[in-house]
Amino acid sequence: MASYYSSLFTPNTATTLGLWVFLLLIGIGMVSAQLSSNFYATSCPNALSTIRSAVNSAISKEARMGASLLRLHFHDCFVNGCDASVLLDDTPNFIGEKSAGPNINSLRGLGVIDTIKSQVESVCPGVVSCADILAVAARDSVVALGGPSWTVLLGRRDSTTASFSAADDGNNIPAPTMSLTGLVSAFSSKGLSVKDMVALLGSHTIGQARCTNFRTRIYNETNINSSFAKSLKASCPSSGGDNNLADLDPTSPTIFDTAFFKNLLQQKSLLDSDQQLMNAHSTYSLVNNYSSNRETFFKDFGRAMIKMGNISPLTGTSGEIRPNCRKTNQARARTQVFVISCSLSE
């Protein structure tokens, strides 16, 4: 009888125990991989207020900077996760992301991030990641321009490499010429729904675009208000002037509001990708809702920003905290060794 029971139960008990240990380990793994809102509460209690004042001061000098900082976080998260890879300068080992198609002649706010980082380093050296600074600066920018607030989850670490090819791959950061189906699948591959996508594109209620990104639309497309198209042609000629700028939302370019969605209903969006949101029922109904329902847009936007900020962060012991957002710690060490050996040889 005893042998019957033991032969029946012992393996099962062992399996059950093994399963619990397994689940426990997974649980611990998940906890350590998760971001949290109070990550710097004891290690750097002034981190958030330091970032906020620096963002506010940059935006008070130039309102568009809020848009540029928001976009930096997007371009970081959509390329191998929110790991500040976008901020790395080129090195002998890799070409960084700054010269990739979506970023070249376009990415802004890098100097502001340097300023924020040096202020944060002076209050808590080596503690706050560049990836978290990007996430907080994006939220503070939206708030400064009149948009919603949300609780930013923290604890991301910084990458030790960057990828030109991943940043240049249109399946990561979509191009404004991409089809609606392509846009939906690009967002879906990052774990973001159609609703997240439409809400996040509401970001185009602030900031500017270059002529090269809307030329075809104003000269050749039919789903555009003709007087709106005409008004843009003066500063965006049919050839030349590629870097001439126009507001993504001409009605209130520095206010984070629902105007972007109202513009879509009137065929007055600057980018073809944005106007395409009118072409499918699922996206149209969200546009229509957000255009007259600021509360819903703001709530969905905040939620979608948190989801975007959760894309593959480096946590625990992966990655590092870079004291200089432009350089990996290894690259900094190399420069320091070089400086020391130069001064020794003098």
Binding residues: 76, 79, 81, 83, 85, 97, 174, 204-205, 249, 257
Active site residue 281: no
The residue from 216, 235, 318, 330 that contacts ligand NAG (CB under 6 A) is 216
Binding footprint of ligand NAG, residue count (CB under 6 A): 12
Q: Does 235 bind ligand NAG (CB under 6 A)?
A: no
Q: Does 215 bind ligand NAG (CB under 6 A)?
A: yes
Element (H, E) at 208: strand 208-210
The residue from 7, 122, 222, 227 that contacts ligand NAG (CB under 6 A) is 227
Identified catalytic residue from 71, 75, 117, 190: 75
The answer to whether the beta carbons of residues 58 and 65 sit under 8 Å apart is yes
Token reading at 170: 């249109």
Q: Does 215 bind ligand HEM (CB under 6 A)?
A: no
User: Please, which residues bridge with residue 246 across strands?
Assistant: 209
Binding footprint of ligand HEM, residue count (CB under 6 A): 24
CA of 214: how far to CAs of 55, 178, 225, 304, in Å? 29, 13, 14, 26
Q: Does 183 bind ligand HEM (CB under 6 A)?
A: yes
The sign of the torsion formed by the CA atoms of 261, 264, 265, 268 equals positive
Phi, psi of 55 (to 5 degrees): -65, -45
Q: Which of residues 238-297 bind ligand NAG (CB under 6 A)?
A: 238, 289, 292-293, 296
Which lies closer to ligand NAG via its Cβ, residue 149 or residue 216? Answer: 216
Q: Helix 294-309 vs helix 194-201: angle between axes, to the nearest 10 degrees? A: 110
Q: Which of 203, 210, 183 is nearest to 276 (CA)?
A: 183
Output the CA angle 307-308-313, nearest 5 degrees.
95
Nearest distance in Å: CB 132, ligand NAG:
31
The answer to whether the beta carbons of residues 132 and 205 sit under 8 Å apart is no
Catalytic residues: 75
**Interface with ligand HEM by CB under 6 A: which residues?**
64, 67-68, 70-71, 74, 106, 108, 174-176, 183, 200-201, 203-204, 206-210, 213, 271, 273
**Interface with ligand NAG by CB under 6 A: which residues?**
215-216, 219-220, 225, 227-228, 238, 289, 292-293, 296
